[in-house]
Amino acid sequence: MAIGGTATRREFRGFLALATLVGVLQGLALATTVPVLLSLHHDDTGAAWGWLAVLGLVAAAGGTLLTRVTMRGFHLAMNVIVAMHRRLGQRLVELPIGWFTPATTGRTSHVAVRGTMFVAQTAMDILVPLTLHVVTPLTVAVTTCFYDWRMGLALLAAAPVIWLSATLAGRRNGAAERRIHDAASATNSRLLEFADKQLTLRSAGIEGTAYAPLDDAIDEQRRAGRRALWSSVLGLVLQGFVVQAAFGAAVTLGVYLAVRGTADPVHVVALIGLCAQFSGPLKILAELGTALRRSAVEVGAVRDLVELEGLPEPATPSPPPSRHDLVFDNVTFGYGEGLGKDSEPVLNGLSLTVPHHSMVALVGPSGSGKTTLTRLIARFWDVQEGAVTLGGTDVRELATDDLMAQLSLVFQDVYLFDDTLEANIRLGNPGATDEQVRRAAEFAAVTEIAERLPDGWQSTVGEGGRALSGGERQRVSIARALVKNAPVVLFDEATAALDPTTEAVVTESIRLLAGRATVLVIAHSLATVAQADSIAFLDGGVVVEHGTHDDLIARNGRYAQFWRSRESGHHRLDKAGASKGEQP
């Protein structure tokens, strides 16, 4: 319950205390049946009625408190769900953007839905019965001591053995539940991937529901489920056996005492009835323990997510810089953990300067690190060695909001929300006037999209912008970047061939930005390269050549080769053409 915060923890303790009190009252009500029976046996009807009244009062108090405890459990569950969702939401905005992959998104949705559902169930369906099923038999055992200390002690001595067997069974089941959880998370991720990649799968001729990674994940989930079922059945059998053995031992002891004449046989019969109330609830203790562990696994997964390390925010952030030159100073970065041998650095001590309000084009073979380089500026991830500075300030020293306010990102995978065309542009600058939005849209040739769509600017673009073509989506994202009017623009030109309008918009918007913002563009077209103040040619995670177009042509190195090969054949630098195999 720590996950719900301090207030929830206090509420939880009160809830458990109340549930314990209900358990004690239920045990006392059961124990009161013994004097009722004995009074009847001794024909003392007055005492029998008296004890019956006590029994009624205790049972009524227990029932009333049980209603209260159930209500409290409900409130507690709701509070924890809200607290968990809040913390989860908070954590998601703090995580580095690079953390979000289809696998982690699948895991998150699984955890957010199942984890919270389990918490709600834990308080209501598990914790109350579990507390009652422990406290009531213990109260019965203690009160038995008052009637016959020998039989009472026998019950109390059995308690740790029963507890141990319940714990062992629960632990086994907990491990099985963890496997089910992992398998279900994996299936969830594969399912999302399967839905998301339908186009790719179908174009690869993989039709229907046959998709090996998903089938494997479902098989693993089935196997884990079967193992968990066996584990749970074995636990129940073990628990039932131990409890029956304890009950049998208490009955045998009672009979022995009666036969030896050291206990009244009627007394013993009444106590055997009470012992049955001791063993009944304990039989399903293992089952409840399993449910609790299952819940703990789900809650643990939420906690793991909540405790993931977010992007470290500076304790005292530097003020937003007034100049906007970008410097990569000896930057080393790899996607794995640390810089161990399992994590080949993608950038190897790379240094590059993009002066204030200048434009640098990044070119180079596929996989040379161009995308990675631009994303380090926006702190999708942090560098492992060296530094990325903006206006002389390390990007890690800036508050994330301040940093993002300086940047406009025009990436190929920029997401359009299932909202209106206008709202998607305004996202770049929520405070922009209608006039500013329309001007940016006009420049990025989005106006003609609005004119074509039935509801104009108010037309919704569908989830991820699916109502628009790839080129149109890029135009909307350019309009979004233009309306933001940020001093630094990171531009990833589309690698796929664009329609002529979009191609012209890309060229024009880059021309517009030149001199007004610091622009770092991953260039795939010669038209873009030609507009840059300088060109950095990347290979193997380092800048192998950097200079103006004329300088680099005169040097007759890698860039000159690339330029000639593009000029003589293709107009675009597609990925295949720029691959390492073919010298650019």
Ligand X SMILES: Nc1ncnc2c1ncn2[C@@H]1O[C@H](COP(=O)(O)OP(=O)(O)OP(=O)(O)O)[C@@H](O)[C@H]1O
Among 178, 190, 370, 480, binds ligand X (CB under 6 A): 370
The nearer residue to ligand X, 292 or 544, going by C-beta atoms, is 544
- Across the chain, which distance is largest between two alpha carbons, in Å? 119
Check residue 372 for interaction with ligand X (CB under 6 A). Answer: yes
Task: Strands of 139-234 (E only): list them.
Answer: none
CB of residue 278 to ligand X, shortest distance in Å: 58
Check residue 368 for interaction with ligand X (CB under 6 A). Answer: yes
CB of residue 403 to ligand X, shortest distance in Å: 20
The nearer residue to ligand X, 99 or 163, going by C-beta atoms, is 99
Calculate the alpha carbon distances from 340 to 350, 481, 502, 539, 555 in Å. 19, 38, 43, 22, 37
CB of residue 469 to ligand X, shortest distance in Å: 21
Contact status, residue 376 vs residue 383, Cβ threshold 8 Å:
yes
Quote the CA–CA distance of 268 and 345 in Å, as a whole number.
Answer: 78
Calculate the alpha carbon distances from 534 to 213, 362, 374, 444, 583 in Å. 45, 9, 16, 25, 21
What number of residues does the chain have?
A: 584
The nearer residue to ligand X, 244 or 579, going by C-beta atoms, is 579
CB of residue 347 to ligand X, shortest distance in Å: 8
The 416-455 site mask, x for binding ligand X (CB under 6 A), equals ----------------------------------------
Check residue 391 for interaction with ligand X (CB under 6 A). Answer: no
Q: How many CB atoms lie within 10 A of CB 507?
A: 16
CB of residue 343 to ligand X, shortest distance in Å: 9
Residues 6+ apart with CB under 8 A from 414: 473, 474, 477, 480
Quote the CA–CA distance of 111 and 91 in Å, as a whole number.
Answer: 13
CB of residue 126 to ligand X, shortest distance in Å: 40
Among 371, 424, 477, 525, binds ligand X (CB under 6 A): 371
Contact status, residue 273 vs residue 129, Cβ threshold 8 Å:
no
CB of residue 344 to ligand X, shortest distance in Å: 8
| Encoded amino acid at 580, one letter | K
CB of residue 330 to ligand X, shortest distance in Å: 18
CB of residue 573 to ligand X, shortest distance in Å: 9
The nearer residue to ligand X, 367 or 470, going by C-beta atoms, is 367
Quote the CA–CA distance of 229 and 225 in Å, as a whole number.
Answer: 6
Contact status, residue 474 vs residue 494, Cβ threshold 8 Å:
yes
CB of residue 388 to ligand X, shortest distance in Å: 14
Check residue 321 for interaction with ligand X (CB under 6 A). Answer: no
Calculate the alpha carbon distances from 12 to 24, 33, 135, 251 in Å. 18, 32, 17, 38
Calculate the alpha carbon distances from 461 to 66, 450, 477 in Å. 52, 10, 12
Gyration radius of the chain over CA positions = 35
The nearer residue to ligand X, 232 or 528, going by C-beta atoms, is 528
Segment 348 to 367, residues that bind ligand X, using CB under 6 A = 364, 366-367
Check residue 379 for interaction with ligand X (CB under 6 A). Answer: no
The nearer residue to ligand X, 268 or 529, going by C-beta atoms, is 529
The nearer residue to ligand X, 411 or 457, going by C-beta atoms, is 411
Place of tokens 């589309």: 494
Torsion sign across C-alpha atoms 420, 425, 430, 431: negative
Among 74, 100, 230, 335, binds ligand X (CB under 6 A): 335
Among 4, 96, 289, 369, binds ligand X (CB under 6 A): 369
Among 346, 354, 446, 520, binds ligand X (CB under 6 A): 346
CB of residue 562 to ligand X, shortest distance in Å: 13
Query: What are 551's two structure tokens?
Result: 């300088």
The 8-class DSSP code of residue 97 comes to G
The nearer residue to ligand X, 84 or 521, going by C-beta atoms, is 521
Near ligand X by CB under 6 A, which window of 249-257, 261-269, 368-376, 473-481? Answer: 368-376
Give the burial class of 383: count Cβ atoms within 10 A of its Cβ; 0-12 exposed, 13-18 middle, 19 or more buried: buried
Query: What are 77's two structure tokens?
Result: 């569950």
The 123-162 site mask, x for binding ligand X (CB under 6 A), equals ----------------------------------------
> What are the backbone dihedrals phi and psi of residue 117, each rounded to the nearest 5 degrees, phi first?
-60, -40
The nearer residue to ligand X, 162 or 578, going by C-beta atoms, is 578
Quote the CA–CA distance of 412 and 490 in Å, as a whole number.
Answer: 11
Segment 469 to 498, residues that bind ligand X, using CB under 6 A = none
The nearer residue to ligand X, 280 or 349, going by C-beta atoms, is 349
Question: Residues in contact with ligand X, total (CB under 6 A)?
Answer: 11
CB of residue 572 to ligand X, shortest distance in Å: 12
The binding site for ligand X (CB under 6 A) comprises: 335, 346, 364, 366-372, 575
